[in-house]
Amino acid sequence: MLRAFTITAAIVALAWVAGGQVLLGRIDPALAVPLLAPPMLLLAWWQRGESIAVRRRAGFLTLALVAVIQTSLGITLAGSAAWLQLLVTIIAGGVAAWLADRLLQWRSRYKVLPWLAGFLLVVGWFGAGHALLAALYRPAPASARAPAVTILTGLPLRWSAGPSIAAMIAEGTNDDPALARLIAAGPVSLVDSLADHVPPPGGTLLIAHPRALAPQELVAIDAFVRGGGRAVILADGLSGWPARHPLGDPRNPPVTSLLTPLLDHWGVTLGSAPAQESKPLPVDVGGARLRLFSAGRLEHLPSACRAYAGRRVAQCRIGQGEVWLVGDADLLFAPLWQPLVPGATHLRQADTMEWLSARLWRGAGNGLLHPLWIRARAA
């Protein structure tokens, strides 16, 4: 019993620290999977002289305790037990316990071989565990028949920071990580004007902190949405996007939102962003974790809107269509959402691109497993 409690505490502590739960702000049981081999080897070492029945009871008790503690932590800190994650963790724990037991019961003629096998088990399990989580957390892409998302933005998502147009053309495109992720998720069409590039039927519009729009473009946006279209609009009261060029250079993103005429027409008022916000703000929107920076509040919303995250995000019905409004264009800034380990999207620190993909393409953005975020403090 004492050994089972000790191994359980080791698994929970490893998941919390080395697994990334505390660092990522998540309480996912599945983050323990790559780290199960060392504790199970220790348990098998302690039990190596016991009967098979005793060894099995210790393994079952350990897994039961892990399930109870992780369930309690999930419900307490995140309001969910994440049953599918828990099932994956317990199955993986059972496999790790069986392999560790087989290894410790192995009687080799060469004493170095069990030690070498144990090392290979730990390293191989760690790599295989992360590969498994990467597959289970991987967001679904858009359907091959999904219409292209029309993107209009004043943010430097495509072109490099060359000193001149000629230099930029010579260097070629240099997609920002946010645009690269969107392209990987589904078809996109990046346009300079909406007057002649209205989204196709069934398509979606992403407007991310654009430069000043002509009246006919504002009319086109309004008509598209009211006619049944879907749109995601990022309107930042005070953009924190790094400027690549000297202050005042028109190639820099707008400092503040220039969508006030459109928002006023819809009965929406975007308030100013806090001037002294110094760190990202984690917020929860429908179970997804977003990280905002100096986001403005949507101070006035019509009755057909539902507000989230302290009125920083809203979902609105406009005519026959739907609009998601976010008072922060820095939402797309890569350091706010990229995983701490490059390429390891299952270790992400926000659901930004997955949430955005799900808004832009029906059926996209969702993986088999979802991060279980520790509740963000109300702000």
pLDDT in tens, 283-304: 999 889 999 988 889 999 999 9
Looking at 137, 171, 187, the residue that finishes a domain is 137
| Count of the separate structural domains present in the chain | 2
Please indicate, yes or no, whether residues 276 and 321 belong to a single structural domain of this protein. Answer: yes
- The answer to whether 342 touches 251, Cβ cutoff 8 Å, is no
What is the pLDDT averaged over residues 34-53?
Answer: 93
Please indicate, yes or no, whether residues 161 and 240 belong to a single structural domain of this protein. Answer: yes
CATH for 255:
3.40.50
**Domain region containing 315:** 149-360
What is the pLDDT averaged over residues 311-315?
Answer: 95
What is the pLDDT averaged over residues 224-237?
Answer: 92
Please indicate, yes or no, whether residues 111 and 162 belong to a single structural domain of this protein. Answer: no
What is the C-alpha to C-alpha distance for residues 318 and 226, in angstroms, rounded to an integer? 6
Please indicate, yes or no, whether residues 354 and 208 belong to a single structural domain of this protein. Answer: yes
Residues 6+ away with beta carbon under 8 Å from 285? 308, 309, 313, 355
Please indicate, yes or no, whether residues 157 and 301 belong to a single structural domain of this protein. Answer: yes
Residue 375 maps to a domain: no
163 pLDDT more than 60: no
Residue 317 maps to a domain: yes
Beta strands 321-326 and 230-234: pairing type? Answer: parallel
53 pLDDT more than 60: yes
Predicted local confidence at residue 237, as pLDDT: 78
Distance of CA 22 to the CA centre of its chain: 16
Please indicate, yes or no, whether residues 174 and 131 belong to a single structural domain of this protein. Answer: no
Predicted local confidence at residue 24, as pLDDT: 93
> Among the listed ranges 11-15, 62-66, 173-177, 341-345, which one has the minimum average pLDDT value?
173-177
Q: How many CB atoms lie within 10 A of CB 304?
A: 15
Predicted local confidence at residue 168, as pLDDT: 47
Q: What is the mean pLDDT of the chain?
A: 89
Residue 143 maps to a domain: no
Please indicate, yes or no, whether residues 178 and 131 belong to a single structural domain of this protein. Answer: no
The residue type at 265: H
pLDDT interval class at 35 (50, 70, 90) = very high
352 pLDDT more than 50: yes
Residue 223 maps to a domain: yes
Predicted local confidence at residue 40, as pLDDT: 95
User: How much is the pTM?
Assistant: 0.88
Q: In terms of C-beta density within 10 A (0-12 exposed, 13-18 middle, 19 or more buried), how is residue 71 classed? A: middle
- The answer to whether 297 touches 271, Cβ cutoff 8 Å, is yes
Please indicate, yes or no, whether residues 170 and 237 belong to a single structural domain of this protein. Answer: yes
What is the C-alpha to C-alpha distance for residues 284 and 374, in angstroms, rounded to an integer? 10
Predicted local confidence at residue 275, as pLDDT: 67
135 pLDDT more than 60: yes
Q: What are 117's two structure tokens?
A: 């096998």
Query: How many residues would you count in the chain?
Result: 379
276 pLDDT more than 90: no
5 pLDDT more than 60: yes
Please indicate, yes or no, whether residues 169 and 217 belong to a single structural domain of this protein. Answer: yes
DSSP assignments along 186-226, one per residue:
S-EEE-S-SSS-PPPTT-EEEEES-SPPPHHHHHHHHHHHH
Please indicate, yes or no, whether residues 206 and 78 belong to a single structural domain of this protein. Answer: no
Residue ranges of the alpha helices (H) in the chain? 2-17, 21-24, 37-46, 52-78, 83-104, 112-137, 165-171, 177-185, 215-226, 260-265, 352-360
